[in-house]
Structure 1
């Protein structure tokens, strides 16, 4: 069940002493958390950044003092200045220091990370394999794969955010299964979304990039202008400005300017308001390790229509009594997406069942404390100098 998350010192007062039920003070060990420079940028929100910020807040509750280092750069393919800064940051750490690196920073620069892996207790947190994130060109993808493989084989542990991602990394990179661990994202407690009329308010929360596939959603909606609906696409457009421009042109060409809105990024109360007005969450990605926007919607009782890629089916999950709280369609199948949308709009009983399943699923979602607990366990078992 989702519960409000207690962070920081509030959980540090005491822990049970082994065997006698008494309590003893918890002493904190240090972990050096190495993050991309834009992790706190409100203009570029992402699931990975949210995850990184939350574990920085919650790890102290499980015995780890977090020392953050944010390294500016165009990760995962940084310039010389960024690589030098990362090398200096790692080089300053004492032998045996515990280090958790965001995979966006670590996986593209084996020439920096691998030489340090022998003396540090190092784990890499992979939010999304680099080839899925930035490797649309096959040659680029192959190069990123090679670099990522070198890093993940050298470090002491790899942390992934879904069971699918654990299996993918083990199989794709030939990693030791004993060194690949799961720490799934949590979901914050949130009030039920009132929605609009129960059907017509669509919401897509995702960065505006080809991987998120908003153009597929626009094309599907263009075939059903006879129906009453509006769609908000919430997400930053700065990662791929040319795609964002093409998407806006596509919206205009279909005559949907008054019905599909690209709002830009939203955080805090503005994002909460977007969810509150939604009747259906739509995610049309071609690759997702997990899909945190899915569980953010389900935490508010909002059903989901999503592509069945990567860890998305895990995020959607099932209600405790079995029903799936949404609709899953194959990626890159415009007919299936269109049919699912028409089914949602045209079948009141389907909408009722999906809303009931989403509200039931909401009560079973895990919180961020479980994520921090899983990471703390991995950090506590890190050996030094593990090399495949």
Structure 2
């Protein structure tokens, strides 16, 4: 029987901290086990997603306790804390699961971390860890292309395993299209400041927006967003209920007309897939994996509106067009429903099957790289 040791940050099941990366980790563990794998999970304690000095020691203790030759799936959030990756790769068949490709740190600390939107030491993906891994798993084709281009990783070692999608009934929508929804942690990376500025530009129109996501990842930033809503033209129009999971999140999608995203970075965008599988169009910036996840119908129609990144006026213009044009709403809803049919075929079980293939090849890949002439 195949065995994989999955090393993740502690807290991936915390309902107060939902994230695409956490959901991906949990579902893959579950589906691999259902597919016959022995999954041994190791939760590394520490101040994730912004590690303190104790995190490297905690991770070293976990990795040091694994049996020689073990196949290990390591969440990329932990990668900056890996000590001596070359020695680690000599002992273990390491598969690095990276949910996000960080952009260069030239924003003075604004952009935040890849996984959660918090700034700090998790930004970098050390080249040494990437080079040591027998295989690297990317969660979107865009992330794969960026990883091959930006880091010294041979393209043969980078594999795409996109998230799965759970089925859900189509959302009925409203005649006016004014039920706006954003599902994102309240951080700069997710662009909540951009979103609020855009919504301020359409404050004279008839709409209501719910922003569902954790408020405690960057408390100062979240407090500033709440203050802007409370004291400005968005008072009573924008709601921050905090994180939502399960039935509570399903209920938000069921009453939504359109999903709004304003992310500065996005590797895949699981909220988009969750919206589209319910036939809900998406308005989002052209960043990272957004265009790929949004996709097109067979006729070439995009099931939403893609705007320039970090451009509140462009985002406001898209919302204005959505609210003011009933024919546009009908066309985009039809496209989203067509896209829904395609996405329903992307099960988590199938995704785990692709990941299992990568894991099965990790030990042979590690052995091949140790032979002279192999890369």
TM (norm. structure 1) is 0.87
Give the Cα separation in 2 of the matches to 1:134 and 1:311.
21
Q: Which runs of 5+ in 2 are unaligned?
A: 114-119
Task: Name the structure 2 match of 1:367.
Answer: 347
Q: Which residue of 2 aligns with 1:3?
A: none
**What does residue 44 of structure 1 align with?**
17
Write the mapping of 1:308-319 to structure 2, written as runs, cut at 5 A.
308-319=286-297
1:76 deviates by 5.3
Q: Give per-residue Cα distances to partners, 1:210-232, cap 9 Å, x unaligned.
A: 01111111111112222110000
- Quick one: which of 135, 141, 147 aligns to 1:157? 135
Among 165, 171, 181, the residue aligned to 2:159: 181
RMSD between aligned alpha carbons? 2.2
Match of 1:87 in 2: 60
Instruction: Say if 1:146 and 1:233 are closer, same or farther in 2 by CA, change over 3 A.
Output: closer
Q: Is the 8 A contact 1:96 1:384 kept in 2?
A: no
Distance of 1:276 and 1:162 partners within structure 2:
26
Question: 2:305 aligns to what?
Answer: 327
Kept in 2: contact 1:101–1:124 (CA 8 A): yes
Give the structure, 1 or 2, with the largest relative contact order (CA under 8 Å, sep 6 or more).
1
- For the 8 Å contact 1:110–1:150, the answer to whether it is kept is no
Distance (Å, rounded) in 1 between the aligned partners of 2:209 and 2:105: 25
Q: Structure 2: how far apart are the matches of 1:374 and 1:135?
A: 36
Distance (whole Å) between structure 2 residues aligned to residue 136 and residue 278 of structure 1? 35
Structure 2 distance, partners of 1:273, 1:114, is: 48
> Are residue 32 (structure 1) and residue 12 (structure 2) matched?
no
How far is the alpha carbon of 1:122 from its aligned partner? 0.7
Q: Give 2:366's aligned residue.
A: 384
Partner of residue 282, structure 1: 260
Are residues 40 and 193 of structure 1, via their aligned partners in 2, closer, same or farther at CA, if it must alter by over 3 Å?
Answer: same
8 Å contact from structure 2 (residues 51, 122) kept in 1: no
Q: Please give the per-residue CA displacement for 1:265-315, whole angstroms capped at 9, x wherever unaligned.
A: 000111001111100000100100000000000011100000110001111
**Corresponding residue number in structure 2 for 1:68:** 41
**SS of structure 2 residue aligned to 1:361:** helix
For residue 108 of structure 1, the aligned residue among 67, 80, 83 is 80
Q: Structure 2: how far apart are the matches of 1:309 and 1:136? A: 19
Counterpart mapping for 1:192-341 below 5 A:
192-341=170-319
How much has 1:113 moved relative to structure 2? 4.1
Residue of structure 1 aligned with 2:332, choices 344, 348, 354 = 354
Aligned to 1:19: none
User: TM-score normalised to the size of structure 2?
Assistant: 0.90
Contact kept? 2:259, 2:283, Cα under 8 Å: yes
Mapped contact 2:69–2:92 kept (Cα < 8 A): yes
- Residues 130 and 148 in structure 1, CA contact (< 8 A), matched pair in contact too: no
Unaligned runs of 5+ in 1: 1-27
Runs of 4+ aligned structure 1 residues displaced above 6 Å come to 132-135, 140-146
Question: Cα offset for 1:353?
Answer: 0.2
Q: Tell me the number of residue pairs that the alignment of Structure 1 and Structure 2 aligns.
A: 359
Q: Is the 8 A contact 1:86 1:112 kept in 2?
A: no
Whole-Å separation in 1 of the counterparts to 2:237 and 2:28: 37
Instruction: Please say which of residues 90-99 and 301-310 is displaced more in the overlay.
Output: 90-99
What is the alpha-carbon distance in structure 2 between the residues aligned to residue 186 and residue 52 of structure 1? Answer: 12
Q: CA deviation at 1:81?
A: 2.8
Secondary structure of 2:227's counterpart equals helix
How far did residue 115 of structure 1 move? 2.6
**Does the alignment pair 1:127 with 2:99?**
yes
